Homo-oligomer: A and B are copies of this chain.
Amino acid sequence: MNAEVSGNPFEDVAHSARFVQGNRVVPVNGFYDGAETYRIRFMLDSIGTWQYETRSTCDTLNGMSGSFECIAPSVQHRGQVVVRGVHHFAYAEGTPYYPVGTTCYTWNHQGYEQEEKTLQTLRDSPFNKIRMCVFSKHYSYSRNEPDHRPFEGSLDAGWNFTRFNPAFWHHLEERIGDLRDLGIESDLILFHPYDRWGYAKMDEASDDRYLKYAVARLSAFRNVWWSLANEWDLMRAKSEQDWDRYFKIIQECDPSQHLRSIHNCARFYDHNLPWVTHANIQNSDTSLTTKWRNQYRKPVIDDEYCYEGNVPQDWGNITGQELVKRFWDGFIRGGYVGHGKTYLHPDDVLWWSKGGVLHGTSPARIAFLRKIIEAGPGPLEPKNIGVTCAGHMENYYLAYLGPNQSARKRLTLPEDHEYRIVDTWETEISTIGGTYTGKFDIDLPGKPFTALRITRKEEA
């Protein structure tokens, strides 16, 4: 829609639409996209005929109406990710979604060449979710000035937070679209404390305006997740009430109700609050997943528990072996775990911040874990068979012995189960050891990072 408006078109024009299918009415806010263009975006979620009608304080934009047919999605298109059951996720279409994420905070602020390289790497990686920031980041190994800025203005002259820069948003949308085409969820961080531009200290009205604009622009991308913050508790300028308000604004404005979470440094946000869809956690002990599951009764993703790398900082110097252990520790307790990589680089290009190429020993083992999980019958719940384990119903168990090297273990299994020994580091699965029922001892390789995949014996 096009209209010429005096004043600030971002501020002075309200425009929205109501999308109607049968008795269902979905109000959707529009946004100004520059060049006298106003847009309203809505991701249809139901096949059939939809009507729409626009409303605006601008006569030109008001009262436009029409209808269209929503057709079945392509096979590739499984819809947005939603919470399913208490502790898990699925695509809207029904297939379980097991988040296997990585972290590239500002990959989308690195210019064309580097961003394309990152996408190329992601294409061949095991990751189906990426943590990334709307705003560029000022932090160790991340000092470069980005090409695009979200607002009009400049670092020297200051920003006009009432006027967005459409070029920035077009670029962001392009990258989110690229991720969508790779089947990767964009876990989009809306605020963070690592800032030299002033985005972390905007006033209340600017925060709210920014959130509404982002939601109006981006909620039609099926692969968007709203991550309200990276390390919310380090943002001194904001109160807990601010965060509650942000959540509520998004909850109210997002017609597609994308997933909403918030990431902590030391202090957890109260993930029990109703607007939080899943607990997004930073904590170095992923084996606490059971506790968090019980505490929040929501899906748990521990996305930061130290990264594989060799930087001086203790948040980024664990080995690939330790990272993979922490992945298994979380999955085996019915939760999910994300990856990050922080190897020193002569030009400070660390995957965790700027993307690029994926070195490190963990991704191949994470791919192996993902393959095992996706080959299983469904989401895993903690189970008790004598060793730390999660399972699905009464016919599938995945146990993990971690760094220990027991050469024997006693299992307690329902009748007629078979086990295979999984070497989670060498990524090998043994042949079936036999069929067992009840309490019995099994011999193990006696080496660290051994897992067991246990399945009910198939009928002959």
Residue pair A408, B344 in contact (C-beta under 8 Å): yes
Is A314 interfacial (CB 8 A cutoff)? yes
Most buried by B among A311, A314, A317, A441: A317
Note all chain B residues with C-beta closer than 8 A to A312: 406, 408-410, 441
Contact A405/B448 with A312-B410, A410-B312 known, Cβ cut-off 8 Å: no
Q: What separation, in Å, do the CA atoms of A205 and B409 have in the docked complex?
A: 43
Residue pair A344, B407 in contact (C-beta under 8 Å): yes
Q: What separation, in Å, do the CA atoms of A441 and B312 have in the docked complex?
A: 9
**Chain B minimum-CB-distance residue to A313:** B406
Is A364 interfacial (CB 8 A cutoff)? no
- Digit string of A276-315 for contact with B (CB within 8 Å is 1, else 0)? 0000000000000000000000000000000001111110
Residue pair A317, B410 in contact (C-beta under 8 Å): no
Residue pair A448, B344 in contact (C-beta under 8 Å): no
Most buried by B among A404, A408, A441: A404
Residue pair B311, A406 in contact (C-beta under 8 Å): yes
**One of B309, B405, B408, B410 near A318 (C-beta < 8 A):** B405
Chain B nearest CB from A319 CB (Å) reads 6
Is A73 interfacial (CB 8 A cutoff)? no
A/B interface sample: 6 pairs, CB < 8 A: A309-B405, A317-B405, A317-B406, A319-B405, A322-B403, A344-B408
- Digit string of A390-414 for contact with B (CB within 8 Å is 1, else 0)? 0000000000000111111110000
- Digit string of A315-357 for contact with B (CB within 8 Å is 1, else 0)? 0011100100000000000000000000010000000000000
Note all chain B residues with C-beta closer than 8 A to A446: 310
Chain B nearest CB from A309 CB (Å) reads 8
Residue pair B344, A311 in contact (C-beta under 8 Å): no
Contact A404/B314 with A319-B448, A448-B319 known, Cβ cut-off 8 Å: yes
Note all chain B residues with C-beta closer than 8 A to A322: 403
Residue pair B407, A310 in contact (C-beta under 8 Å): yes
Most buried by B among A313, A405, A446: A405
Most buried by B among A406, A407, A408: A406
Contacts A311-B406, A312-B409 aside, 14 further interface pairs with beta carbons under 8 A come to: A309-B405, A310-B408, A311-B407, A312-B441, A314-B404, A314-B406, A317-B405, A317-B406, A319-B403, A319-B405, A319-B448, A322-B403, A344-B407, A344-B408
Note all chain B residues with C-beta closer than 8 A to A317: 404-406
Most buried by B among A310, A314, A408, A409: A310
- Digit string of A409-421 for contact with B (CB within 8 Å is 1, else 0)? 1100000000000
Note all chain B residues with C-beta closer than 8 A to A404: 314, 317-319
Q: What separation, in Å, do the CA atoms of A411 and B309 have in the docked complex?
A: 19
Q: What separation, in Å, do the CA atoms of A426 and B344 have in the docked complex?
A: 24
- Digit string of A435-460 for contact with B (CB within 8 Å is 1, else 0)? 00000010000101000000000000
Q: What separation, in Å, do the CA atoms of A410 and B318 have in the docked complex?
A: 17
Q: What separation, in Å, do the CA atoms of A344 and B445 have in the docked complex?
A: 13
Q: What separation, in Å, do the CA atoms of A51 and B448 have in the docked complex?
A: 62
Chain B nearest CB from A405 CB (Å) reads 5
**Chain B minimum-CB-distance residue to A311:** B406
Contact A318/B403 with A310-B446, A446-B310 known, Cβ cut-off 8 Å: yes
**One of B310, B403, B410, B448 near A406 (C-beta < 8 A):** B310
Q: What separation, in Å, do the CA atoms of A34 and B90 have in the docked complex?
A: 79
Residue pair A310, B344 in contact (C-beta under 8 Å): no
Residue pair A310, B410 in contact (C-beta under 8 Å): no
Note all chain B residues with C-beta closer than 8 A to A406: 310-314, 317
**Chain B minimum-CB-distance residue to A448:** B319
- Digit string of A222-258 for contact with B (CB within 8 Å is 1, else 0)? 0000000000000000000000000000000000000
